[in-house]
Amino acid sequence: MQTHYSIESLQKILQQQVRLGKTIGLVPTMGNLHAGHISLVEEAKKQCDYVVASIFVNPMQFGRGEDLDAYPRTLQEDIAKLEIAACDALFAPSATEMYPQSLDSQTVVSVPELSNRHCGAARPGHFDGVATVVSKLFNIVRPDKAIFGLKDFQQYLIICKMVKDLCFPIKIIGMETLREHSGLAMSSRNSYLPGEQKRNAADLYQQLLKAQADIAAGADNFSALEARATHDLKQAGIEVQYFSVCNAENLEPAISTDTELVILAAVYVGNTRLIDNIRCTRKL
């Protein structure tokens, strides 16, 4: 696997691959890779001839007081994992390589409506940072396909809308969330959790499963389901930022005539913010 720190170096190699007629896959990450990330690389290998993973802790998507400085950076360990997964190239740029004129003068890509709800409401500007850096990565790599995990379902929908609206010739593929044995969604931030907090964090998935089962059984008082889950999580020592039953296409609050739903949740376990979701289909 070749590691590239500059746009010029990466593009030189990619141009060679395109001339050879190879299809390009992209797996964008912020590093501190776990099995969930590696599963995305493995899927990209199945679907494309040449796979690029990116590792970039994007300062543009972190708000004031968030964990940008503390976010785990494990580049050498990540390189070893990507090599085992037979990834073809790693793009690991610096912030100055990606934003040479500083963030204050950087053009911003913004996806309206979808970006303003849930995590967008809790983290103003976060999804503008995501959309901007992903747009830059798409233009740098010019992949045929890009693979994203569905743990951040809101992000996935935002990227899909951005690709459609801006006419990127890229197929976006969403991969199901990988979970630990407890059901806790794999996340780079799980490393922040000491043992007892990590055990408690698994309660979030149990509440998602419970709400999913109730909806499948015919429950349509969604606000009551949200309130119950919020109460039960609080009793378990978990602070709920939101637990919301939504229309799976636009992420607006679900109504009784919706058939495709997603339950989105963001919580704090101690000082660690975790997100998760589960999807469900209703029969009317």
Q: b/e map of 119-135 (b: 16 or more CB within 10 Å)?
A: bbeebebbbbbbbbbbb
Residue 102 has what pLDDT? 85
User: What's the confidence (pLDDT) of residue 172?
Assistant: 98
Q: Which fold has domain 2-175?
A: Rossmann fold (3.40.50)
The percent of residues above 70 in pLDDT, for the chain, comes to 100
User: Which pLDDT band, with edges at 50, 70 and 90, does 195 fall under?
Assistant: confident
pLDDT of 139-172, one tens digit each? 999 999 999 999 999 999 999 999 999 999 999 9
Tell me what the mean pLDDT of segment 120-130 comes to. 96
At 65, the pLDDT band (50, 70, 90 cuts) reads confident
Predicted confidence (pLDDT) per residue in 8-52, tens digit: 999 999 999 999 999 999 999 999 999 999 999 999 999 999 999
- Give the mean pLDDT of the chain: 96
24-29/50-55 β-pairing:
parallel
Is domain 188-277 classified as CATH 3.30.1300.10?
A: yes
**Predicted local confidence at residue 283, as pLDDT:** 86
| Residue range 204-215: mean pLDDT, rounded | 98
Of residues 52 and 63, more confidently modeled: 52
For residue 245, what pLDDT is reported?
98
Q: At CA 244, angle to CA 240 and CA 247, rounded to 5? A: 160
Query: Whole-structure pTM over 0.85, yes or no?
Result: yes
**Does the structure show a pLDDT above 90 at 212?**
yes
Rounded to an integer, what distance in angstroms lies between the CA atom of residue 244 and that of residue 254? 9
> Catalytic residue numbers?
37
| 3-state SS class at 77 | helix
Q: Which helix (H) or strand (E) holds 229?
A: helix 222-235
Which residue spans of the chain are classified as CATH 3.30.1300.10?
188-277
Give residue 15's pLDDT: 98
Reported confidence tier of residue 284, pLDDT bands at 50, 70, 90: confident
Q: How far apart are CA 61 and CA 52, in angstroms?
A: 22
**d(C-alpha 255, C-alpha 221), whole Å:** 9
Strand partners, 24: 50
**What's the number of CA atoms in the CB half-sphere (13 Å) around residue 246?**
20
Range(s) within the chain of domains with CATH label 3.40.50.620 = 2-175
